[in-house]
Amino acid sequence: MAPKSPMEIQEVVEMVVSHLKKEDVKRCILVSKSWRDVFLPYRWLNVRAGYRKDGIQPIGPGRDALCNHRHLIWSLILIREIDEFSEYDYSYLGRLEINMIGLKPRNNRLNMNLATKTPMLVNLILVNVVVPLEFWDTLSNHPRLKRLHLDSMTIHDESAAFWRTCMKLESLQMECVIMEVGDRPRDMVFHRLRQLMLNIIHWRNGIFLSDLMLRSPMLESLEYRALRSETFLEPTASGSCLHLKKLHLHGCFEEEDLNFLFKRVRDGDGNNVYLEPYRSGLDTVSETFGSHYQSLVDVDLHDCVKISRSIVPDILCLCPRLEKLQAKNVLACGVMERGPWVCQQLRELRIQFCFEIFEEDLQPLIFERLSTLVRLEQLTLDYCSFDRYEKQYDMLECRLDRGLGRLASLQQLTSVWLDTPIGNWQNPNLSMEDVMWMVENWKGLKKVVGYLNWRQDLAAQLRSVFDSHGI
């Protein structure tokens, strides 16, 4: 039977609601009884409730309203309040966030049995929450939980139950988490884990990232941030080959950790041995670790302080599926010593090429390598570089007399960033000829960001040229 009104078609209603603000949805509920039945579920789809910092002024709906409509709530955010809402069952709830920032530990204790009160829960976010000893035991029995995000928390002696919970997850994110005591995951294998994001984790019980990675054979995304020098240490587990698609490293890492992540081995003399792109597929890496060069799509090493400068040339030469790369302090001479780039799928590149003194002749060769990246849409060139010994390098200069003209093949380019800090004397220093070449050859160019010339009057003229072409 055909619907009498477009409002009886769910797809139409969803399209209408997607263009309405929350206040507009409230008004629609008041139009008529039929409209109330249609729009009421969307009014309660996402709810934010609790109290402000003063602990007095409420946020969102009151207790009675929440109780009456809890069967409609899909996403619930609780701010500085748990007990008032924890006594209800939420049969439809798929996402729950409990944020207790600003409260002392004795006031932010979670007593909800989520396994029974939220049977459809998929995504759980806990911020500054203290959980009882039995919490992880009950959560490990949850039938549908797939994503867990912990922020500003401490995992105590129930860590074994915590790891049992992680065995059910597809995504685990931990920020500012302290692992107090307990054992490693030992014989546990995290077959479902696809995404792992760790931000400043304190492993007080000897649980190392290397073990967690090797016990996650299906891991596709790894993001790891450290504020000080970290080490993965020697793993106790043996696992399957990693096939990462996304790898983001931020902070300080030891050389051994980078060798572990990038699958390097040592020869008899203790020197690092790398996979070369022209070895006809011969793999010198042990079967335990394998290689994920062939699967990497998104790599961010730009904020990795101690990154080995030979790693980025390896990535450029060994990652045919790479679409996004961010890196700094890449020695041009090291790039030119390697084989041809195979990353022809690159769409976004932020890179900082460094040249020793008297290496100006390498700049055209670097532009020649860049010209092969014909799918490139965003190009960012950093212009300020110092190594750990405060040595300054020359940068790749985006000018015709340095080889810019070789980039005419980059027809997909829409954005160019010349990332130069204010006050830096090593500006790109573009000329009118350089700017006109960009306008004429990069037809799809929409945005140019950066300091174009150290002379303010000339920089204003160059900007006016871009403005006149809608850039």
pLDDT of residue 63: 80
Which secondary structure element, helix H or strand E, spans residue 167, and what is its range?
none
Over residues 150-200, the pLDDT tens digits come to 998 888 755 778 888 999 999 999 998 887 655 566 678 899 999 999 887
Average pLDDT over residues 200-215: 68
Over residues 423-444, the pLDDT tens digits come to 455 556 889 999 999 999 999 9
pLDDT of residue 283: 36
Average pLDDT over residues 39-49: 78
Contacts of 18 (CB under 8 A, 6+ apart): none
Report angle CA 413, 417, 419 to the nearest 5 degrees: 160
The more confidently predicted of residues 289 and 300 is 300
Average pLDDT value over all residues in the chain:
78
Over residues 55-100, the pLDDT tens digits come to 678 888 878 888 888 888 899 998 888 777 777 888 889 999 999 8
Quick check: helix, strand or coil at residue 335?
Answer: helix
**Which residue has 């912990």 as its token pair?**
150
Domains of the chain, earliest start first: 1-43 (no CATH), 319-471 (3.80.10)
Contacts of 226 (CB under 8 A, 6+ apart): 200, 250, 251, 252, 253
As a whole-number percent, the residues of the chain with pLDDT over 90 amount to 28
- Outline where DSSP puts E strands in 356-419: 378-382, 394-395, 415-419
Average pLDDT over residues 439-458: 89
pLDDT at 373 over 90: yes
pLDDT of residue 374: 94
- Alpha carbon distance 467, 464 (integer Å): 5
At 33, which amino acid appears?
K
pLDDT band at 290 (very low <50, low <70, confident <90, very high): very low
Instruction: Sort 76 into a burial class: Cβ within 10 Å, 0-12 / 13-18 / 19+.
Output: buried
**DSSP track, 196-239:** EEEES-EETT---HHHHHHT-TT--EEEEE-SS-B-----S---
Nearest to 293 by CA among 276, 273, 271: 276
Q: Return the half-sphere exposure (C-beta side, CA atoms, 13 A cut-off) of residue 131.
A: 27
Average pLDDT over residues 6-26: 66
Least-confidence region, from 24-28, 148-152, 336-340: 24-28
Over residues 88-135, the pLDDT tens digits come to 888 889 999 999 887 776 667 787 788 888 999 999 999 998 888 788
